[in-house]
């Protein structure tokens, strides 16, 4: 395979479980072999789906000042931004805090279930491609820190209590990397069925195209 | 691990960015798609340098109003005050939570400007065909990719402060116009980091080894 960071061609030797392979030129991690069962990421994804529902339905925090009280959820925060005239920012917050992590869990759950079939259906590959984009834009850990800063700011003015939603978001922050670490993406790609049409290797046309690209 | 001196591009192979499978393009010049996962295949991202420049210049422009315009308007019993990001940091510092003030300062002020400088530096060195410190430049790119998301911090702070503090008529907080520019800076720099192709860093190091797989 070619290193995604520097394009150096290299052969990857069998990796012992729990280990990883690094590029010989740029040192980037190019493959890893997770320890543990194939079902572990599925179990984690199911847990994450349940926790995600809790995180988005229960209040993040309650605030009380002079006999008045208010509470908010993740979606509520985005909605409030939308209502206050910051539509674009509201949409962005909703995307990074709800849609991207939700999409990640939903796609991961579906493709892990699909991956249990043999042969692995083609749509699993298409989903696997999308999962990466959701992962990039899902910012739960950043949101958590943002909420904490907001909490401390508000705490000067009113009494605030962390709600169940807050703990659920905390659990998701741990679950997301756990899914990534236990999921053997390389093995799944290798099991994926695709129409194997051999193309002639080493053609001049291919090399010319390569010259132009560099 | 065995290593050859050639890159995939030099061997006439395109590496799929989604599933890492190597393919040989059927017809040069035509868009190719990965046979396994359907991702569009490219030797290097099309117009990577120009697009990255465009995005970081746009981000640099947005960075100015992001810091000068207020991100929050707090109104308390008739009086109202507007806060910019730096005033928010000052408020945190003054109220005794200096570690948090530092975190917000780093995430909202230092990281965006650092990203712009880092990406600009990478682009200039790639364009000049620099061959030195490739490892350091690759590491710099990975750092930009990893920490970039953290500058969204202040957007979330404002969102949840606004959402929480709605105790009319006692006290309420409304988002200011700075937030939009700030969010734009984050999104633009994240897109720039995604479009920049780190393989370009290494291409100029070994330019004359084409055609040997």
pLDDT one digit per residue (tens) for chain B, 213 residues: 444 457 887 777 888 877 778 877 776 667 777 777 777 788 888 888 889 999 999 999 999 999 899 888 888 777 778 888 888 888 888 887 788 888 888 888 899 999 999 999 999 988 888 777 888 888 899 899 888 888 888 889 888 888 887 766 677 888 888 899 999 999 999 999 988 888 888 877 665 444 333
Contact B103 A149 (CB under 8 A): yes
- The residues spanned by each domain of chain B are 7-43, 47-203
Contact B156 A150 (CB under 8 A): yes
The answer to which of A52-56, A89-93, B32-36, B72-76 has the lowest mean pLDDT is: B32-36
**How far, CA to CA in Å, does A16 sit from each of A63, A88, A124, A183, B180?**
51, 47, 26, 15, 48
Rounded Cα distance between B19 and A41, Å, is: 19
One-character DSSP codes across A61-76: EEEEETTEEEEE-HHH
Give the gap in angstroms from C-alpha A43 to the nearest C-alpha of chain B: 24
How remote is the C-alpha of A92 from its chain's centroid?
16
Higher pLDDT, A195 or B120: B120
Contact B138 A26 (CB under 8 A): yes
pLDDT recorded at residue A13: 81
Contact A68 B170 (CB under 8 A): yes
Span B47-203 CATH architecture: Up-down Bundle (1.20)
Give the gap in angstroms from C-alpha A44 to the nearest C-alpha of chain B: 23
Structure tokens at A100: 């991207």
Q: Do residues B18 and A128 make contact, with C-beta atoms less than 8 angstroms apart?
A: yes
Q: How much is the ipTM here?
A: 0.81
| Of B58, B70, B71, the residue nearest B186 (C-alpha) | B58
Give the gap in angstroms from C-alpha B119 to the nearest C-alpha of chain A: 15
């Amino acid at each position: 395979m070619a290193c995604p960071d520097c394009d150096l061609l290299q052969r990857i030797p069998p990796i012992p479980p729990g280990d990883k392979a690094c590029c010989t030129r740029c040192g980037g991690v190019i493959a890893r072999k997770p320890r543990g069962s194939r079902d572990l990421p599925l179990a984690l994804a199911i847990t994450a789906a349940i926790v995600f529902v809790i995180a988005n339905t229960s209040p993040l925090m309650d605030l009380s000042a002079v006999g008045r009280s208010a509470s908010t959820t993740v979606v509520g925060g985005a909605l409030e931004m939308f209502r206050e005239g910051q539509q674009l920012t509201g949409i962005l917050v909703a995307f990074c805090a709800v849609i991207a992590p939700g999409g990640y869990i939903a796609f991961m759950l579906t493709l892990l279930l699909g991956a249990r079939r043999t042969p692995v259906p083609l749509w699993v590959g298409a989903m696997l491609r999308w999962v990466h984009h959701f992962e990039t834009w899902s910012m739960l850990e950043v949101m958590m820190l943002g909420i904490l800063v907001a909490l401390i700011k508000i705490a000067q003015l009113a009494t605030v209590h962390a709600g169940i939603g807050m703990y659920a978001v905390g659990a998701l922050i741990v679950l997301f990397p756990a899914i990534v670490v236990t999921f053997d993406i390389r093995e799944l790609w290798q099991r994926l069925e695709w129409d194997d049409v051999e193309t002639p290797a080493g053609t001049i046309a291919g090399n010319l195209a390569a010259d132009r690209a560099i | 691990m065995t290593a050859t001196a050639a890159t995939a591009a030099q061997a006439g192979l395109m590496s799929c960015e989604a599933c890492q499978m190597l393919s040989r393009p059927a017809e040069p010049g035509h868009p190719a798609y990965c046979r396994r996962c359907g991702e569009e295949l490219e030797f290097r991202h099309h117009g990577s340098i120009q697009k990255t420049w465009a995005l970081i210049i746009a981000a640099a422009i947005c960075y100015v109003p992001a810091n000068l315009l207020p991100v929050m308007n707090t109104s308390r019993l008739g009086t109202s005050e507007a806060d910019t990001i730096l005033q928010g940091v000052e408020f945190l510092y003054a109220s005794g939570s200096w570690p948090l003030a530092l975190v917000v300062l780093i995430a909202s002020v230092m990281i965006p400007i650092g990203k712009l400088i880092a990406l600009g530096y990478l682009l200039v060195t790639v364009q000049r065909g620099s061959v030195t410190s490739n490892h350091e430049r690759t590491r710099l790119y990975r750092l930009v990719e990893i920490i970039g998301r953290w500058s969204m911090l202040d957007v979330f702070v404002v969102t949840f402060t606004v959402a929480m503090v709605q105790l009319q008529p006692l006290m309420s907080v409304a988002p200011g116009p700075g937030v939009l520019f700030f969010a734009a800076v984050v999104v633009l720099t994240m897109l720039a980091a995604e479009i920049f192709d780190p393989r370009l860093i290494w291409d100029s190091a070994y330019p004359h080894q084409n055609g040997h797989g």
